[in-house]
Amino acid sequence: MKIKLINKSGYHSKIENQNGNYIDIDNKSDINPKGVSPMELLLMGVAGCSSIDIISILKKQKQEFKNLYIEVEGKREDGELPSLFTQIHADVFIEGDVDSKKAYKASELSFTKYCSVSKTLEATADISFSVYVNNKICSK
């Protein structure tokens, strides 16, 4: 895995992977940032990594979902540098003909076992999640 960063101006940069896919990053304290902050990228990584796991597991379970979206919120240390994430919480929303226990299990496996991003961040952050199937919270 290899990426390349190209500075555009100020803090604004383009980051590209080997396939030519790219994102823009910027300093979120700038007026009108032209990209996401690196810390936001970490939270996006949690959502993206978990979505891939959850979709894969739901497919193996033969669950037919129509929509999946994940909201991730992170809390960081105040006044410390580096300002690490101390808490990360994900809300997983799944819609469709999906068994709530299977949806919960798929999410649990992702956050506790498979998602490399979450597993990397758990060294400094407590990671938690909630799962909603057709707008109803579910549990084990």
pLDDT digits (tens, 9 = 90+) for 1-48: 999 999 999 999 999 999 999 999 999 887 899 999 999 999 999 999
In this structure, are strands 85-97 and 126-133 parallel, antiparallel, or unpaired?
Answer: parallel
Q: Around 82, how many Cα atoms within 13 Å sit in the side-chain half-sphere? A: 6
Mean pLDDT along residues 67-80: 93
Alpha-carbon gap, residue 115 to 49, rounded angstroms: 6
Lowest mean pLDDT, pick from 73-82, 93-102, 128-137: 73-82
Label residue 70 by pLDDT band (50, 70, 90): very high
What pLDDT does 140 receive? 77
Q: How confident is the model at residue 132 (pLDDT cuts 50, 70, 90)?
A: very high
Q: Is a pLDDT exceeding 90 seen at residue 84?
A: yes
What is the value of pTM for the model shown? 0.93
Q: What is the largest CA-CA distance in the chain?
A: 49
In the structure, what pLDDT confidence band is assigned to residue 96 with cuts at 50, 70 and 90? very high
User: In terms of DSSP bridges, do strands 64-76 and 22-25 run parallel, antiparallel, or are they unpaired?
Assistant: unpaired
Length reported for the chain: 140
Indicate whether 71 pLDDT > 90.
yes
pLDDT at residue 1, rounded to an integer:
94
Residue 29 is predicted with a pLDDT of: 82
The position carrying tokens 């990671």 is: 127
